[in-house]
Structure 1
Amino acid sequence: MSYSMKLARLTALAAGLTLVASACGSGDSGGGSGDLAGKSFTVGSKEFTEQVILGQITILALEDAGATVKDETGTEGTALTRKGLESGEIDMYWEYTGTGFIEILGNSPEDVPKDPQELFDAVAEQDAKNGVKWILKTEANDTYAFAASQETSDSLGVTTISDYAELANSKPEDASLCAAAEFLDRDDGFPGVEEAYGFKLPDDQITEVDLNIIYTALPKADPCNFGEVFESAGQIPANDLVVLEDDKQFFPGYELALTVNDSVLKDSPELEDVLQPIADKLTTEELQKLNASVDVDGLPEEAVAKKWLEDNGLIG
């Protein structure tokens, strides 16, 4: 199943910036002098904030290198975005190694390499057979996590997922959970957590909601005490949430890397050199800041992407 969350695209100007936010998939733009002059690309992304920001960063960097770029960011869910890459509707998008290993390539969560580089290498090797190249592995890790408010964590004595499992078995009404549809369905999501930690939360204690709602619901403990989050979400510090320790290390690494159609990369090997400086700068902390600029401060993704590139000296 795919993420149900669709973030509203803002069209206001970001403070002091002159970049006007435009709708996703608005057509070709760019073109000029640079390492990629005369080249044309289509950049995609999934629909949630982080993915759209990453897509916009990529578009702006490619345009700065002289390419003409079509914007196809904002596709709903992993399955449809990946299908677009395989069919050639898009040429590239940023994906997560854990998602690639389990959700896309169909491996078992129990078989995920713990070392981030080993995981990347395994995904890259397997996916090469599908005509997809994985390049530009980053330090940024957007792994799944469980979170609660500090008050909930303290009052219920839950700081690890093992604590949560014990609570779910003894007092399931206190272990009420909010989660998005995809997390509730994926093997590396809630079903896998239940199996790994040895509990079964009753269905009536699970509320399926848009992912973005979870971060503001948890401080009120309404409609649930705990929720699915992504570790790179800017709303975690903004809402003073506590992330539960994954003490059995169930969740695999979800380091970011760029997935590119093999034929596109063969035709334009310069892509890697152009985008490498971006990959070098992407960390979990940087993603949190970027996400917070949109989800907390309300700025448009395009404007956030442009400012980040300029602040880091990545576009001229």
Structure 2
Amino acid sequence: MARLRLAALGVAGAALLSGCGLGTAGGFIPTGDLAGEVAGVDLSGSEVAVGSKNFNESVLLGKMTVLLAQAAGADVQDLTNMPGSASARQAQVEGLVDVEWEYTGTAWLTYLGHEDPIPDPQAQWEAVRDEDAQIGLTWLPPAELDNTYAFTVRQDTAERLGVRSLADIKDLPEQEQTFCVDAEFASRNDGFRPLLAAYGLGDLPDSRVRIMDIGAVYQAVANGECTFGEAYATDGRIAALDLAVLEDPLPFFPSYNVAPVVREEALAEDPELAVLLEAMRVRLDNETAAELNARIDVYGEEPVDVAWDWLVAEGLLTERQD
């Protein structure tokens, strides 16, 4: 059944992926053997399509999943690195992706269209789980890792301006109220313009807002090109560039706990997928993510190499002996 399903999706999927411009990571995936508590998982004969978005933490989680599923004997289709949340979501809803790691805040506010987050992280996950179950997507339990949005400022600038939280920005001189954000965040209903309104900043002129790739924002703040920059809370470049994270006293940003999302049909066919994903989940927290992300974002390592090293260090994977 799985082979027939994926073969049928292959033609439709190729059309959708190319039509939407969904370039994916692909590339070489080293082969290992499962170890530790996942050693007995057997996905031989199964076909599993793994997706991710196109920022490094998401790609990293996708590559970890690819490595484990492949080591378990599955024929894995690597669809990591799809451009943007909407593209990744569409691919899974359309049945082109079996499993990917998703963030509860993104699902609740962006995909499902709710205006207000649910303050309790567990309750928010449960609400997302229940709604997505209606379209055949199963949310497995969330990790401790909470990659919420944040805003950064240079440490020396924060001290000079006496700014510690987002609430302080409205009291600064206008020339200091400059921001760097990426295009997706600028258009989200949990993003930039609602944030400005929530903290009493109103509509800033375009001259004080720069739109750029998220990867460039951190360096732009460090270089003084803008005073404040959008960030992901678990990004390793925050510490590496000596940036300070502003407090969010409202709070405005919801929880973005990451969780594996699996198509209901795929999970029914291969229930042992959940064992692999659970082994990852219990090991993922913000400190771990920041360290791994720094290896990619700061030191230039490939996500698949970082994923491999971590899985081996955690005792979930060993090098295959031929």
Normalized against structure 1, the TM-score is what? 0.87
Find out whether 1:60 has 2:62 as its counterpart. Answer: no
Moved more, 197-206 or 69-78: 197-206
Conserved? CA contact 1:161–1:244, under 8 Å: yes
CA contact (8 A) 2:41 2:275 kept: no
Specify the alignment match of 1:248 in structure 2.
250
- The equivalent of 2:297 in structure 1 is 295
Q: What code does the residue aligned with 2:311 have? A: L
- Conserved 8 A contact 2:41-2:72: yes
Describe the shift of the 1:243–1:27 C-alpha distance in structure 2 as closer, same or farther (beyond 3 A): closer
**For the Cα contact (< 8 Å) 1:30–1:68, is it kept in 2?**
no
Partner of 2:137: 132
Contact 1:98–1:254 under 8 Å retained in 2: yes
Amino acid at match of 1:140: L
Matched, 1:263 2:265: yes
Counterpart of 2:16 in structure 1 is: none
Q: Distance in 1 between matches of 2:32 and 2:148?
A: 36
Measure how far apart 1:136 and its partner are: 3.3
Question: How far did residue 166 of structure 1 move?
Answer: 2.8
RMSD between superposed Cα atoms in Å? 1.8
Deviation, structure 1 residue 31:
10
AA of the residue aligned to 2:206: D
Aligned length: 288
Question: What whole-Å deviation, never above 9, does each CA across 1:234-278 have from its counterpart, x for those lacking one?
Answer: 000101100000011110000000111111111111111122111
Answer whether contact 1:27 1:70 (CA < 8 A) is retained.
Answer: no
Matched ranges for 1:82-101 at <5 A: 82-101=89-108
- Distance in 2 separating the partners of 1:61 and 1:26: 16
SS of residue paired to 1:265 = helix
Distance 1:138 1:304 in 2: 19
Higher deviation after alignment, 194-203 or 28-37: 28-37
Which deviates further from its counterpart, 24-33 or 305-314? 24-33
Q: Given the superposition, is the C-alpha separation of residues 31 and 230 from structure 1 closer, same or farther in structure 2, using an over 3 Å criterion?
A: closer
- Output the CA distance in 2 between the equivalents of 1:44 and 1:231: 22
CA distance in 1: counterparts of 2:165 and 2:112, whole angstroms: 29
Measure, in 1, the Cα distance between the counterparts of 2:48 and 2:223.
45
Which residue is equivalent to 1:20? none
- Aligned partner of 1:282 in structure 2 is 284
What is the SS of the residue equivalent to 1:148? Answer: strand
Q: Report 1:149-228 matches (<5 A).
A: 149-167=154-172, 171-200=173-202, 201-222=204-225, 224-228=226-230
**Unmatched 5+ residue regions in structure 1?**
1-22
Distance 1:76 1:30 in 2: 26
1:28 and 1:203 map into 2 onto residues whose CA distance is 43
* Residues 1:122 and 2:127 aligned together: yes
Say if 1:34 and 1:64, in contact at 8 Å, map to a contact too.
no
Instruction: Give the distance between the partners of 2:295 and 2:229, measured in 1 at CA.
Output: 22
Aligned partners of 2:176, 2:293: CA distance in 1, in Å?
30
Q: Percent identity?
A: 39
**Secondary structure, in 3 states, of the residue corresponding to 2:80?**
strand
Q: Is the 8 A contact 2:29 2:67 kept in 1?
A: no
Q: Cα offset for 1:157?
A: 1.4
Q: Does residue 1:107 correspond to 2:114, yes or no?
A: yes
Q: Name the CA distance, whole Å, in 2 between partners of 1:256 and 1:137.
A: 6
Change (3 A) 1:192 1:210: same
SS of the equivalent of 2:134 reads helix
Q: Which residue identity does 1:84 align to in structure 2?
A: A
- For 2:26, the aligned partner's letter is G
Return 204-213 or 267-276, whichever deviates more: 267-276
Counterpart-to-counterpart distance in 2, 1:28 and 1:283: 25
Please state how far the C-alpha of 1:34 moved relative to its aligned partner: 4.3
Segments of 4+ in structure 1 off by > 4 A? 26-34
Other structure's SS at 2:317 match? coil
User: For 2:76, what is the secondary structure of its paired residue?
Assistant: strand
8 Å contact kept, 2:49–2:76: yes
Q: Which residue number corresponds to residue 19 of structure 2?
A: none
**In 2, Cα distance between the equivalents of 1:195 and 1:220?**
27
Runs of 5+ unmatched residues, structure 2: 1-23, 34-39
1:18 maps to none
Instruction: Kindly provide the CA deviation profile for residues 116-165 of structure 1, in whole angstroms up to 9, marking residues without a partner as x.
Output: 11110011011111211111310001000010001111111111000013
Equivalent residue, structure 2, for 1:71: 78
1:77 corresponds to which letter in structure 2? G
- In the other structure, the counterpart of 1:148 is 153
1:172–1:202 contact (8 Å) kept in structure 2: no
With over 3 angstroms needed to count, the CA separation of the structure-2 counterparts of 1:195 and 1:209, relative to structure 1, is: same
